[in-house]
Amino acid sequence: MNPSSLPGHPFIAYQSGALCVEQVRLSELARTHGTPLFVYSKAAMLSALAAYQRGFAGRKAQICYAMKANSTLGVLQVFAQAGCGFDIVSGGELARVLAAGGDPAKVIFSGVGKTRTEMQQALQAGIGCFNVESAAELDVLNKVAESMGQQACVSLRVNPNVDPKTHPYISTGLKGSKFGVAHEQAVNFYQHAARLRGLKVVGIDCHIGSQITEVTPFLDATDRMLDLVTQIEAAGVPIHHIDFGGGLGINYNGDTPPEADALWAQLLAKLDARGFGDRQLMIEPGRSLVGNSGVCLSEVLFLKPGEQKNFCIIDAAMNDLPRPAMYQAYHHIIPVHPRDGAAEVFDVVGPICESGDWIGRDRALNVQPGDVLAVLSAGAYCMSMSSNYNTRGRAAEVLVDGDQVHLIRERESVLDTFKLEHLPI
Ligand SMILES: *Cc1c(COP(=O)(O)O)cnc(C)c1O
Protein backbone atom coordinates (compact mmCIF):
# COMPACT_ATOMS: atom_id res chain seq x y z
CA MET A 1 0.00 0.00 0.00
CA ASN A 2 1.06 3.60 -0.37
CA PRO A 3 3.33 4.50 2.60
CA SER A 4 1.80 7.99 2.92
CA SER A 5 -1.77 6.69 2.95
CA LEU A 6 -3.94 7.70 5.88
CA PRO A 7 -4.35 5.17 8.70
CA GLY A 8 -7.42 3.05 7.96
CA HIS A 9 -7.74 4.57 4.47
CA PRO A 10 -5.31 2.60 2.30
CA PHE A 11 -6.41 4.13 -1.01
CA ILE A 12 -6.53 7.75 0.15
CA ALA A 13 -3.15 9.46 0.32
CA TYR A 14 -1.28 12.73 -0.16
CA GLN A 15 0.82 12.56 -3.31
CA SER A 16 3.14 15.57 -3.83
CA GLY A 17 1.03 17.65 -1.43
CA ALA A 18 -2.29 16.83 -3.10
CA LEU A 19 -4.85 14.50 -1.54
CA CYS A 20 -5.73 11.67 -3.93
CA VAL A 21 -8.18 8.79 -4.06
CA GLU A 22 -6.30 6.04 -5.88
CA GLN A 23 -4.61 7.98 -8.71
CA VAL A 24 -7.01 10.91 -8.91
CA ARG A 25 -6.48 14.31 -7.32
CA LEU A 26 -9.44 15.39 -5.25
CA SER A 27 -8.98 19.08 -6.06
CA GLU A 28 -9.50 18.22 -9.72
CA LEU A 29 -12.69 16.30 -8.96
CA ALA A 30 -14.01 19.24 -6.94
CA ARG A 31 -13.28 21.59 -9.85
CA THR A 32 -14.92 19.32 -12.45
CA HIS A 33 -17.95 18.14 -10.51
CA GLY A 34 -18.46 20.85 -7.88
CA THR A 35 -19.02 20.42 -4.14
CA PRO A 36 -20.34 18.83 -2.00
CA LEU A 37 -19.13 15.73 -3.80
CA PHE A 38 -18.84 12.13 -2.62
CA VAL A 39 -15.83 10.27 -3.99
CA TYR A 40 -15.49 6.51 -3.60
CA SER A 41 -12.56 4.20 -4.25
CA LYS A 42 -13.49 0.98 -6.01
CA ALA A 43 -10.22 -0.64 -4.89
CA ALA A 44 -10.99 0.22 -1.26
CA MET A 45 -14.40 -1.46 -1.51
CA LEU A 46 -12.96 -4.56 -3.13
CA SER A 47 -10.13 -4.72 -0.60
CA ALA A 48 -12.62 -4.52 2.29
CA LEU A 49 -14.62 -7.30 0.64
CA ALA A 50 -11.45 -9.35 0.10
CA ALA A 51 -10.80 -9.38 3.87
CA TYR A 52 -14.15 -11.14 4.34
CA GLN A 53 -13.51 -13.46 1.39
CA ARG A 54 -10.13 -14.47 2.89
CA GLY A 55 -11.84 -15.05 6.22
CA PHE A 56 -14.29 -17.47 4.59
CA ALA A 57 -11.87 -19.25 2.25
CA GLY A 58 -12.83 -22.92 1.97
CA ARG A 59 -16.22 -22.43 3.67
CA LYS A 60 -19.77 -22.45 2.40
CA ALA A 61 -20.44 -18.75 2.92
CA GLN A 62 -22.52 -16.04 1.28
CA ILE A 63 -21.65 -12.39 1.84
CA CYS A 64 -24.74 -10.19 1.55
CA TYR A 65 -23.81 -6.49 1.44
CA ALA A 66 -26.19 -4.58 3.75
CA MET A 67 -26.97 -1.98 1.14
CA LYS A 68 -28.63 0.56 3.39
CA ALA A 69 -25.07 1.68 4.19
CA ASN A 70 -24.75 2.99 0.62
CA SER A 71 -27.37 2.04 -1.93
CA THR A 72 -26.17 4.00 -4.98
CA LEU A 73 -26.49 1.82 -8.10
CA GLY A 74 -22.85 2.27 -9.06
CA VAL A 75 -21.75 1.01 -5.65
CA LEU A 76 -24.13 -1.96 -5.81
CA GLN A 77 -22.77 -2.92 -9.21
CA VAL A 78 -19.23 -3.15 -7.80
CA PHE A 79 -20.42 -5.65 -5.19
CA ALA A 80 -22.75 -7.54 -7.53
CA GLN A 81 -19.91 -8.08 -10.00
CA ALA A 82 -17.71 -9.33 -7.16
CA GLY A 83 -20.29 -12.04 -6.40
CA CYS A 84 -21.97 -10.47 -3.38
CA GLY A 85 -25.56 -10.94 -2.43
CA PHE A 86 -27.50 -8.15 -0.75
CA ASP A 87 -29.27 -7.62 2.55
CA ILE A 88 -32.26 -5.39 1.82
CA VAL A 89 -34.75 -3.67 4.11
CA SER A 90 -37.38 -2.42 1.64
CA GLY A 91 -38.99 -3.01 -1.73
CA GLY A 92 -37.14 0.08 -2.93
CA GLU A 93 -33.82 -1.55 -2.11
CA LEU A 94 -34.90 -4.69 -3.98
CA ALA A 95 -35.61 -2.57 -7.07
CA ARG A 96 -32.14 -1.07 -6.78
CA VAL A 97 -30.50 -4.52 -6.56
CA LEU A 98 -32.30 -5.60 -9.73
CA ALA A 99 -31.43 -2.34 -11.54
CA ALA A 100 -27.75 -2.79 -10.62
CA GLY A 101 -27.64 -6.36 -11.97
CA GLY A 102 -27.65 -8.15 -8.59
CA ASP A 103 -28.79 -11.78 -8.32
CA PRO A 104 -32.21 -11.92 -6.58
CA ALA A 105 -31.48 -15.47 -5.39
CA LYS A 106 -28.70 -13.99 -3.23
CA VAL A 107 -30.98 -11.39 -1.62
CA ILE A 108 -32.11 -11.60 1.99
CA PHE A 109 -34.88 -9.32 3.19
CA SER A 110 -34.50 -7.93 6.75
CA GLY A 111 -36.56 -5.42 8.70
CA VAL A 112 -39.34 -5.32 11.31
CA GLY A 113 -42.03 -3.79 9.10
CA LYS A 114 -42.30 -5.41 5.69
CA THR A 115 -45.57 -4.60 3.91
CA ARG A 116 -47.65 -7.18 2.03
CA THR A 117 -46.76 -5.44 -1.22
CA GLU A 118 -43.06 -5.68 -0.43
CA MET A 119 -43.46 -9.38 0.42
CA GLN A 120 -45.19 -9.96 -2.92
CA GLN A 121 -42.50 -8.07 -4.84
CA ALA A 122 -39.78 -10.09 -3.13
CA LEU A 123 -41.50 -13.43 -3.79
CA GLN A 124 -42.06 -12.45 -7.41
CA ALA A 125 -38.38 -11.57 -7.80
CA GLY A 126 -37.39 -14.91 -6.24
CA ILE A 127 -35.27 -13.67 -3.34
CA GLY A 128 -33.26 -16.15 -1.30
CA CYS A 129 -34.66 -15.63 2.20
CA PHE A 130 -36.88 -13.48 4.38
CA ASN A 131 -35.33 -12.63 7.74
CA VAL A 132 -38.53 -12.56 9.78
CA GLU A 133 -38.66 -10.50 12.97
CA SER A 134 -41.99 -11.40 14.66
CA ALA A 135 -44.69 -14.07 14.96
CA ALA A 136 -47.18 -11.71 13.28
CA GLU A 137 -44.88 -11.34 10.30
CA LEU A 138 -44.58 -15.14 9.96
CA ASP A 139 -48.36 -15.43 9.63
CA VAL A 140 -48.73 -12.59 7.14
CA LEU A 141 -45.84 -13.84 5.01
CA ASN A 142 -47.35 -17.33 5.07
CA LYS A 143 -50.67 -15.99 3.75
CA VAL A 144 -49.04 -13.85 1.07
CA ALA A 145 -46.92 -16.77 -0.15
CA GLU A 146 -49.86 -19.20 -0.13
CA SER A 147 -52.01 -16.76 -2.09
CA MET A 148 -49.26 -16.67 -4.73
CA GLY A 149 -48.92 -20.47 -4.73
CA GLN A 150 -45.36 -20.15 -3.44
CA GLN A 151 -43.28 -21.04 -0.43
CA ALA A 152 -41.24 -18.28 1.20
CA CYS A 153 -37.85 -19.30 2.57
CA VAL A 154 -37.52 -17.92 6.08
CA SER A 155 -34.97 -17.35 8.79
CA LEU A 156 -35.96 -15.96 12.18
CA ARG A 157 -34.00 -13.05 13.53
CA VAL A 158 -33.29 -13.90 17.14
CA ASN A 159 -32.32 -11.39 19.74
CA PRO A 160 -29.32 -12.81 21.60
CA ASN A 161 -29.45 -10.11 24.34
CA VAL A 162 -25.79 -9.20 23.90
CA ASP A 163 -24.47 -5.69 24.47
CA PRO A 164 -22.39 -4.62 21.46
CA LYS A 165 -21.02 -1.60 23.43
CA THR A 166 -21.80 0.91 20.73
CA HIS A 167 -24.05 3.99 20.36
CA PRO A 168 -27.58 3.19 21.71
CA TYR A 169 -29.20 4.13 18.37
CA ILE A 170 -27.18 1.47 16.55
CA SER A 171 -27.38 -1.16 19.29
CA THR A 172 -30.00 -3.67 18.16
CA GLY A 173 -29.55 -6.98 19.98
CA LEU A 174 -30.54 -6.15 23.57
CA LYS A 175 -33.81 -6.95 25.33
CA GLY A 176 -36.03 -3.91 24.84
CA SER A 177 -34.93 -3.54 21.22
CA LYS A 178 -37.65 -3.51 18.55
CA PHE A 179 -35.62 -6.02 16.52
CA GLY A 180 -35.78 -9.79 16.43
CA VAL A 181 -37.64 -12.33 18.55
CA ALA A 182 -36.70 -13.09 22.15
CA HIS A 183 -34.30 -15.95 22.64
CA GLU A 184 -36.79 -17.68 24.96
CA GLN A 185 -39.58 -17.67 22.35
CA ALA A 186 -37.51 -18.73 19.39
CA VAL A 187 -38.08 -22.50 19.62
CA ASN A 188 -41.88 -22.03 19.75
CA PHE A 189 -41.81 -19.67 16.79
CA TYR A 190 -39.72 -22.11 14.76
CA GLN A 191 -42.14 -24.97 15.49
CA HIS A 192 -45.01 -22.69 14.47
CA ALA A 193 -43.24 -21.64 11.24
CA ALA A 194 -42.47 -25.24 10.35
CA ARG A 195 -46.21 -26.02 10.37
CA LEU A 196 -47.14 -23.19 7.97
CA ARG A 197 -47.49 -24.40 4.40
CA GLY A 198 -46.50 -21.12 2.78
CA LEU A 199 -43.16 -21.09 4.57
CA LYS A 200 -39.99 -23.11 4.37
CA VAL A 201 -37.64 -22.73 7.34
CA VAL A 202 -34.07 -22.43 6.10
CA GLY A 203 -32.03 -20.50 8.63
CA ILE A 204 -31.46 -18.42 11.70
CA ASP A 205 -30.04 -14.91 11.92
CA CYS A 206 -29.06 -12.17 14.32
CA HIS A 207 -27.66 -8.67 14.07
CA ILE A 208 -26.58 -7.13 17.36
CA GLY A 209 -25.61 -3.61 16.35
CA SER A 210 -23.32 -1.46 14.29
CA GLN A 211 -19.84 0.09 14.59
CA ILE A 212 -18.78 -2.77 16.89
CA THR A 213 -15.05 -2.58 17.57
CA GLU A 214 -14.56 -5.63 19.82
CA VAL A 215 -14.61 -9.35 19.09
CA THR A 216 -16.33 -10.42 22.33
CA PRO A 217 -19.91 -9.35 21.47
CA PHE A 218 -19.71 -11.34 18.20
CA LEU A 219 -18.38 -14.42 20.03
CA ASP A 220 -21.07 -14.15 22.71
CA ALA A 221 -23.85 -13.74 20.13
CA THR A 222 -22.49 -16.74 18.22
CA ASP A 223 -22.58 -18.90 21.34
CA ARG A 224 -26.15 -17.84 22.07
CA MET A 225 -27.21 -18.54 18.49
CA LEU A 226 -25.55 -21.98 18.40
CA ASP A 227 -27.28 -22.88 21.68
CA LEU A 228 -30.56 -22.04 19.98
CA VAL A 229 -29.78 -24.01 16.82
CA THR A 230 -29.19 -27.06 19.03
CA GLN A 231 -32.54 -26.55 20.78
CA ILE A 232 -34.49 -25.83 17.58
CA GLU A 233 -33.11 -28.90 15.85
CA ALA A 234 -33.82 -31.03 18.94
CA ALA A 235 -37.42 -29.81 18.58
CA GLY A 236 -37.47 -31.23 15.06
CA VAL A 237 -36.82 -28.19 12.83
CA PRO A 238 -33.59 -28.40 10.80
CA ILE A 239 -31.60 -25.18 10.35
CA HIS A 240 -29.64 -25.03 7.10
CA HIS A 241 -27.87 -21.70 7.30
CA ILE A 242 -26.60 -19.51 10.11
CA ASP A 243 -26.54 -15.76 9.43
CA PHE A 244 -24.37 -13.64 11.72
CA GLY A 245 -25.64 -10.23 10.57
CA GLY A 246 -23.28 -7.30 10.10
CA GLY A 247 -22.00 -4.69 12.50
CA LEU A 248 -18.21 -4.75 12.22
CA GLY A 249 -16.93 -1.24 12.90
CA ILE A 250 -14.41 0.91 11.04
CA ASN A 251 -11.66 3.29 12.10
CA TYR A 252 -13.23 6.76 12.28
CA ASN A 253 -10.98 8.30 14.93
CA GLY A 254 -8.42 5.81 16.16
CA ASP A 255 -11.00 3.05 16.60
CA THR A 256 -9.37 -0.37 16.40
CA PRO A 257 -11.95 -2.88 15.14
CA PRO A 258 -10.62 -6.33 14.26
CA GLU A 259 -9.91 -6.98 10.59
CA ALA A 260 -12.70 -9.01 8.98
CA ASP A 261 -10.43 -12.00 8.31
CA ALA A 262 -9.12 -11.99 11.91
CA LEU A 263 -12.65 -11.76 13.32
CA TRP A 264 -13.82 -14.65 11.17
CA ALA A 265 -10.85 -16.81 12.11
CA GLN A 266 -12.06 -16.57 15.73
CA LEU A 267 -15.74 -17.09 14.93
CA LEU A 268 -15.00 -20.05 12.66
CA ALA A 269 -12.80 -21.63 15.35
CA LYS A 270 -15.78 -21.48 17.67
CA LEU A 271 -18.11 -22.96 15.02
CA ASP A 272 -15.63 -25.78 14.40
CA ALA A 273 -15.17 -26.45 18.12
CA ARG A 274 -18.92 -26.75 18.57
CA GLY A 275 -19.43 -28.92 15.49
CA PHE A 276 -21.12 -26.33 13.25
CA GLY A 277 -18.15 -25.69 10.96
CA ASP A 278 -19.68 -27.22 7.85
CA ARG A 279 -22.94 -25.24 7.93
CA GLN A 280 -23.87 -22.76 5.23
CA LEU A 281 -22.88 -19.36 6.64
CA MET A 282 -24.24 -15.93 5.79
CA ILE A 283 -23.14 -12.46 6.84
CA GLU A 284 -24.55 -9.00 6.23
CA PRO A 285 -21.75 -6.41 6.47
CA GLY A 286 -22.54 -2.82 5.51
CA ARG A 287 -20.36 -0.10 7.01
CA SER A 288 -17.17 -2.19 7.00
CA LEU A 289 -17.41 -2.69 3.21
CA VAL A 290 -17.90 0.96 2.22
CA GLY A 291 -17.34 3.35 5.16
CA ASN A 292 -13.67 4.06 4.65
CA SER A 293 -13.92 3.80 0.86
CA GLY A 294 -15.48 7.25 0.55
CA VAL A 295 -14.83 10.91 1.28
CA CYS A 296 -17.06 13.95 0.96
CA LEU A 297 -15.46 17.03 -0.58
CA SER A 298 -16.72 20.41 0.56
CA GLU A 299 -15.63 23.99 -0.10
CA VAL A 300 -14.93 26.47 2.67
CA LEU A 301 -17.43 29.32 2.23
CA PHE A 302 -16.59 31.66 5.10
CA LEU A 303 -14.47 31.86 8.23
CA LYS A 304 -16.32 33.43 11.13
CA PRO A 305 -14.19 34.25 14.16
CA GLY A 306 -16.08 34.52 17.43
CA GLU A 307 -15.50 35.32 21.08
CA GLN A 308 -15.87 31.73 22.21
CA LYS A 309 -15.56 29.78 18.98
CA ASN A 310 -14.26 30.20 15.49
CA PHE A 311 -16.51 28.77 12.81
CA CYS A 312 -15.45 27.34 9.49
CA ILE A 313 -18.60 27.35 7.35
CA ILE A 314 -18.54 24.81 4.53
CA ASP A 315 -20.96 23.99 1.72
CA ALA A 316 -21.72 20.45 2.97
CA ALA A 317 -24.24 20.12 5.78
CA MET A 318 -26.21 17.72 7.95
CA ASN A 319 -28.45 16.89 4.99
CA ASP A 320 -25.35 15.47 3.23
CA LEU A 321 -23.49 14.16 6.31
CA PRO A 322 -26.11 13.32 8.95
CA ARG A 323 -23.98 11.20 11.28
CA PRO A 324 -22.57 13.98 13.51
CA ALA A 325 -26.05 15.45 14.09
CA MET A 326 -27.66 12.01 14.60
CA TYR A 327 -25.05 10.16 16.64
CA GLN A 328 -22.50 12.85 17.65
CA ALA A 329 -20.26 10.90 15.29
CA TYR A 330 -16.68 11.87 14.49
CA HIS A 331 -15.32 12.25 10.94
CA HIS A 332 -11.77 13.40 10.21
CA ILE A 333 -11.70 16.62 8.18
CA ILE A 334 -8.54 17.37 6.22
CA PRO A 335 -7.57 19.83 3.48
CA VAL A 336 -7.05 18.48 -0.04
CA HIS A 337 -4.10 20.93 -0.36
CA PRO A 338 -2.53 21.55 3.06
CA ARG A 339 -1.17 25.08 3.57
CA ASP A 340 2.07 25.95 5.33
CA GLY A 341 1.73 27.85 8.58
CA ALA A 342 -0.15 27.75 11.84
CA ALA A 343 -3.55 26.15 12.33
CA GLU A 344 -6.47 27.66 14.22
CA VAL A 345 -9.22 25.80 16.03
CA PHE A 346 -12.62 25.85 14.34
CA ASP A 347 -16.02 24.26 14.62
CA VAL A 348 -16.70 23.07 11.07
CA VAL A 349 -20.39 23.70 10.32
CA GLY A 350 -22.81 23.65 7.43
CA PRO A 351 -25.24 26.31 6.19
CA ILE A 352 -28.40 24.68 7.59
CA CYS A 353 -30.55 26.56 10.09
CA GLU A 354 -30.04 24.17 13.02
CA SER A 355 -27.42 24.30 15.75
CA GLY A 356 -27.14 20.53 15.25
CA ASP A 357 -25.71 21.22 11.80
CA TRP A 358 -22.08 20.65 12.63
CA ILE A 359 -19.64 18.32 10.87
CA GLY A 360 -16.69 18.55 13.25
CA ARG A 361 -15.99 20.33 16.55
CA ASP A 362 -12.74 21.92 17.74
CA ARG A 363 -10.69 21.05 14.67
CA ALA A 364 -7.24 22.51 14.10
CA LEU A 365 -7.21 23.72 10.51
CA ASN A 366 -5.20 26.14 8.40
CA VAL A 367 -7.76 27.13 5.78
CA GLN A 368 -9.04 30.03 3.72
CA PRO A 369 -12.37 30.53 1.93
CA GLY A 370 -12.33 28.64 -1.37
CA ASP A 371 -10.19 25.80 0.02
CA VAL A 372 -11.57 22.28 -0.40
CA LEU A 373 -11.82 19.99 2.63
CA ALA A 374 -12.25 16.23 2.61
CA VAL A 375 -14.54 14.70 5.22
CA LEU A 376 -13.23 11.14 5.66
CA SER A 377 -15.06 7.87 6.36
CA ALA A 378 -18.05 9.16 4.39
CA GLY A 379 -18.78 6.02 2.38
CA ALA A 380 -21.39 4.55 4.75
CA TYR A 381 -24.61 6.01 6.15
CA CYS A 382 -24.00 9.42 4.57
CA MET A 383 -25.41 9.60 1.03
CA SER A 384 -27.94 6.87 1.84
CA MET A 385 -29.22 8.93 4.80
CA SER A 386 -29.08 12.29 3.02
CA SER A 387 -32.13 14.52 2.67
CA ASN A 388 -33.34 17.68 0.97
CA TYR A 389 -33.69 19.63 4.21
CA ASN A 390 -33.45 23.39 3.56
CA THR A 391 -34.25 22.58 -0.12
CA ARG A 392 -30.71 21.52 -0.76
CA GLY A 393 -30.25 19.18 -3.71
CA ARG A 394 -28.37 15.99 -2.94
CA ALA A 395 -24.66 15.90 -3.72
CA ALA A 396 -23.12 14.21 -6.76
CA GLU A 397 -21.12 10.99 -6.44
CA VAL A 398 -18.13 9.69 -8.36
CA LEU A 399 -16.46 6.29 -8.33
CA VAL A 400 -12.68 6.24 -8.83
CA ASP A 401 -11.11 3.15 -10.36
CA GLY A 402 -7.34 3.61 -10.72
CA ASP A 403 -7.05 6.74 -12.88
CA GLN A 404 -10.63 6.41 -14.18
CA VAL A 405 -13.47 8.54 -12.85
CA HIS A 406 -17.13 7.51 -13.23
CA LEU A 407 -19.91 9.93 -12.37
CA ILE A 408 -22.35 7.53 -10.67
CA ARG A 409 -24.90 10.12 -9.51
CA GLU A 410 -25.54 13.55 -10.92
CA ARG A 411 -26.02 16.47 -8.61
CA GLU A 412 -29.70 16.90 -7.83
CA SER A 413 -31.09 20.21 -9.09
CA VAL A 414 -33.40 22.40 -7.05
CA LEU A 415 -36.14 21.69 -9.61
CA ASP A 416 -35.67 17.96 -8.93
CA THR A 417 -36.35 18.60 -5.26
CA PHE A 418 -39.88 19.92 -5.87
CA LYS A 419 -40.91 18.28 -9.12
CA LEU A 420 -43.51 16.06 -7.38
CA GLU A 421 -45.26 18.99 -5.69
CA HIS A 422 -48.45 20.77 -6.84
CA LEU A 423 -49.81 24.21 -6.09
CA PRO A 424 -53.38 23.84 -4.79
CA ILE A 425 -54.77 26.61 -7.07
C1 LIG B 1 -27.88 -2.31 9.20
C2 LIG B 1 -27.90 -3.77 9.17
C3 LIG B 1 -26.76 -4.49 8.79
C4 LIG B 1 -25.44 -3.83 8.47
O5 LIG B 1 -24.86 -3.24 9.59
P6 LIG B 1 -23.39 -2.60 9.49
O7 LIG B 1 -23.12 -2.11 10.85
O8 LIG B 1 -23.46 -1.51 8.49
O9 LIG B 1 -22.46 -3.69 9.07
C10 LIG B 1 -26.85 -5.86 8.69
N11 LIG B 1 -28.01 -6.52 8.98
C12 LIG B 1 -29.13 -5.86 9.36
C13 LIG B 1 -30.36 -6.61 9.64
C14 LIG B 1 -29.12 -4.48 9.47
O15 LIG B 1 -30.21 -3.83 9.85
Q: What is the pLDDT of residues 331-342, one digit of tens each?
A: 999 999 999 999
pTM to 2 decimal places: 0.96
Q: What is the pLDDT of residues 254-307, one digit of tens each?
A: 999 999 999 999 999 999 999 999 999 999 999 999 999 999 999 999 999 999
Q: What is the pLDDT of residues 196-205, one digit of tens each?
A: 999 999 999 9
Residue 129: active-site member: no
Query: Residue 4: its pLDDT value, please?
Result: 64
Produce one character per residue of 355-377: b if its CB has 16 or more CB atoms within 10 Å, e if not. Answer: eebbbbeebebebeeebbbbbbb
Q: What is the pLDDT of residues 159-205, one digit of tens each?
A: 988 877 777 766 776 777 778 888 889 999 999 999 999 999 999 99
Ligand 1 atom at minimal distance to the Cα of residue 380: 8
- CA 26, distance to chain mean position in Å, is 24
- For the chain, domains (ranges, CATH) are 12-41+291-417 (2.40.37.10), 110-285 (3.20.20.10)
* Centre of ligand 1 from the C-alpha of residue 336, in Å: 31
388: which residues sit within 8 A by CB, 6+ positions away? 319, 394, 412, 417
Residue 29 above 90 pLDDT?
A: yes
Query: Residue 3: its pLDDT value, please?
Result: 44
| Spatial separation of the C-alpha atoms in residues 271 and 295, rounded to whole Å | 37
Residue 6 above 90 pLDDT?
A: no
57: which residues sit within 8 A by CB, 6+ positions away? none
Of 84, 153, 312, 353, catalytic: 353
Ligand 1 pocket: which residues have CB below 6 Å? 66, 68-69, 87, 110, 207, 210, 245-248, 284-288
What value does the mean pLDDT take over residues 27-45?
A: 98
Of the residues 88, 255, 284, which should be mutated to test ligand 1's pocket, given the most ligand atoms within 8 Å of the CB? 284
